[in-house]
Structure 1
Amino acid sequence: MKIAIDCADLDSSRIDGTRIYIKNVLNYLGDLAPQDDFWLFHRKEFNPVLKPKIFSNYQNRKIPYPFLWTQTKFAFELLQLRPAIVWMPIQQIPLLTAGKIKIVFTAHDLAFKIFPKSFKLSDRKKLNFFIDSAVRRADGIIAVSQSTKKDLLRFFPLLEEEKIKVIYHGFDAQQFCQKFSQEEINKNLNKYNLIKDQREVRFLLYVGALQPRKNLPLLIEAFEEIKGKKGLGDLRLVLVGAPAWLAEETLRKVRNSVFSQDIILTGEVDFSVLTLLYRKAKLLVFPSLYEGFGLPILEGWASETPVLVADNSSLKEIGGMAVEKFSTFSKKDLADKVEKLLADESLRKDLVIKGKKALENFSWKKCAEETLEFLKIIAQKND
């Protein structure tokens, strides 16, 4: 069977959850189905950090084109190839091929419909156009959580539920098993001002883009409140991730904070440094207003770090009983929960144990297996 896949996102210099998802699924598909041919289409060279394993049954097709690549050059290549199925791991499909070649796309989240003011108008219009057309014309849809499936059915009431398959993400077990020398630990912690008087300082960790939906101003305000408490003056807040769209409010909040010197903006970091920061953090705090999945939850569990999330969307679904939750819009509740977790070592240990147990339900291999199975079901389905 010929399976075509849009891999163009793996050419990007920016690393995000969607691109980690694409790379890791591709790291397994070829091995899972050696009898099938996978055609990997992209525009330029893969970002070395995002480059997937290339199996003998992978046809790596780099096809440069300057304009509307997905809707033009990629669509033309598909019409020439005539694969049994096309997998679009993004929320867009090549419209010229709809009805002629079977297509499955992955729906990651509908944040732009739920929190439209968190997006630029031009981006919102584009995202709405592509998801609306993809939902109407795709033969199957992968939703990354029950929450995302629920949102699809809410915004597209004519969508048949049977067209949707929920497939969870996984995590990179090898990455989170890394060993670090004391020299590496000291070097990286010193770089981010996380050592004082030759001792490691306690810090809260956030991982993700800096953009309005991530609810970071609330986290900064809660951090300021916590810092005033007895015994917590040494605490720091580390925000790992690059500024994304409409990040100015968050950056201004950091600059204007009375504790700005204790709020560390790392920008993007490599996976090794990220793993170290996860492992050394006292808590992972994920305060988003909305997520389609919430990959940092798994990464926190894999790092044996207790996780605190906002009580909404997929965060409560994926986190379940293995995370502590706070009321999404309440600075007081967030500050209280952070203070409670920092003070209660037995509670932190309990969350770590529960997180390790919950992690058994997630793997990239399982994600790839279920993705392949769904692609084949749709490919073989009679119209």
Structure 2
Amino acid sequence: MKPVVVLDARITRRYSVGMRHYVRELARRIPRVAPDLKIVAVVNQPLETEAETVRVGGSNFGITEEAVVPLTALALKASLMHHFSIYAPYEPAVPFLLTIHDLIHLEFPEQFKPTILAYYRLFTRRHAARARRIVTDDEATVETLERLLGARRERVAVIPLAVDDAMLELAQRPSAGEAERLRSLGIGERPYLFYAGNHRKHKNLATLFEAWQGLPCDLVITGADDVPGGLEQYTRGDARALAVGNVDRSLLAALYRRAAAYVHPALVEGFGLPMVEAMAFGTPVVASERSVPGPLREAALTFSALDARELRRQAERALRDVPLREALRARGLAAARQLTWERTAEATAALYRTVLQEVTRA
């Protein structure tokens, strides 16, 4: 009889865009790469998966999470359960793995509500101590897990993330009307630096705005113009700072493709999927030292996160140095090709097998 592995594949409003990608890609791929395991997905919305599914409610912290999810694992006689985020029941009921993408909330507690910090203290620290493995995206996060949660290094598995197939397809075959869509946003032939992501304080956009001053290009960011004082304050001469709102996948692809460079100034990241996506489009990446993941480090120009002068210098190199741009393009494309969701799923399934052997021997 195949061992039963349950995937906690719920997606709630607390999940970031990157977390949602992670859940969807693993739920879709793990059943295909693990025919030796019986994979069951606990879901709260339709997901593309060949796994058997059990539908539950959708919120965190309530009876679904604390009772329905663990009782479902018991009813299925699960040998192992993988919680795809930190939002797991206080008593998981069966041996489990826990994915922790980052510990930004604990590294910058002043930026978040006390309730989420209390959750980390009461739940996540407990889960980190009891999980058979903590799964994280990058080697740099391991030290943070040890320091802030007391995690044991030998219980942490590093499995990198990747670019989704649809974005890779757009990198190879542009959608029709890209130039027209960009022009409708006010983006023409003038070069621009590009940032994609939310505007939370730890994303450190203030350093990007400061660094951009004096560069011979525009600046384009996704999301609303919710910058204190508005982006217009940074406009000087012909150079403009533009917020293009929420964008769909095809428009995001167009923005990556046309960008002179992609800039990621965050104080820290778990993995930072936009950097991988930019590299898949052959766009040079300039990123803060603690935001760029290990597999991409040799393909990016880096700077100290709060050093606007160094960011400006690296961005100017990416804009003006043609041989360097070509080298970054080649290294970035090569790095992005190595990171596939199929490999992420295969590494995750291999981890399940290792842990199942440990559970059986225990």
Q: TM-score, normalised by structure 2?
A: 0.90
Find the aligned partners of 2:308 and 2:110 in 1 and give their Cα distance.
21
Which residue of 1 is the match for residue 218 of structure 2?
236
Find the aligned partners of 1:174 and 1:258 in 2 and give their Cα distance.
35
Matched-pair contact (CA < 8 Å) for 2:289–2:303: yes
Matching residue within 158, 171, 176 for 2:168: 176
Q: Give me the identity figure in percent.
A: 24
Which residue of 2 is the match for residue 72 of structure 1?
67
Find the aligned partners of 1:189 and 1:137 in 2 and give their Cα distance.
49
Matched, 1:165 2:160: no
1:285 is paired with a residue whose SS is: strand
C-alpha displacement of 1:33: 1.9
Which residue of 1 is the match for residue 80 of structure 2?
85
Which residue of 2 is the match for residue 137 of structure 1?
130
2:39 is paired with a residue whose SS is: strand
C-alpha displacement of 1:15: 5.3
Pair 1:217–1:356, CA change in 2 (3 A): same
Pair 1:38–1:252, CA change in 2 (3 A): farther
Larger CA deviation: 206-215 vs 340-349: 340-349
Pair 1:115–1:14, CA change in 2 (3 A): closer
- Provide runs of 4+ in structure 1 moved above 6 Å: none
Matched, 1:123 2:101: no
Size of the alignment, in residue pairs? 353
Find the aligned partners of 1:324 and 1:267 in 2 and give their Cα distance.
27
What code does the residue aligned with 1:177 have? E
Find the aligned partners of 2:108 and 2:134 in 1 and give their Cα distance.
22
What code does the residue aligned with 1:164 have? V
Find the aligned partners of 1:204 and 1:144 in 2 and give their Cα distance.
26
Which residue of 2 is the match for residue 265 of structure 1?
243
Unaligned 5+ segments in structure 1 are 227-231
Find the aligned partners of 1:202 and 1:128 in 2 and give their Cα distance.
46
Find the aligned partners of 1:242 and 1:69 in 2 and give their Cα distance.
34
Summarize deviations over 1:102-133 as a string: whole Å, max 9, x none: 10011111111212122233333224433212
Q: CA RMSD in A?
A: 2.3
What code does the residue aligned with 1:284 have? Y
Find the aligned partners of 1:318 and 1:115 in 2 and give their Cα distance.
25
What code does the residue aligned with 2:23 have? I
C-alpha displacement of 1:334: 1.1
2:295 is paired with a residue whose SS is: helix
Which residue of 2 is the match for residue 212 of structure 1?
201
Which residue of 2 is the match for residue 7 of structure 1?
9
What code does the residue aligned with 2:37 have? D
2:355 is paired with a residue whose SS is: helix
Find the aligned partners of 2:321 and 2:165 in 1 and give their Cα distance.
28
Matched-pair contact (CA < 8 Å) for 1:206–1:238: yes
1:279 is paired with a residue whose SS is: helix
Which residue of 2 is the match for residue 104 of structure 1?
97
1:188 is paired with a residue whose SS is: helix
Find the aligned partners of 1:68 and 1:207 in 2 and give their Cα distance.
35
Matched, 1:334 2:323: no
Which residue of 2 is the match for residue 357 of structure 1?
334
Matched, 1:323 2:300: yes
Find the aligned partners of 1:201 and 1:14 in 2 and give their Cα distance.
35
Matched, 1:114 2:111: no
Which residue of 1 is the match for residue 256 of structure 2?
278
Which residue of 2 is the match for residue 39 of structure 1?
40
Which residue of 2 is the match for residue 26 of structure 1?
27
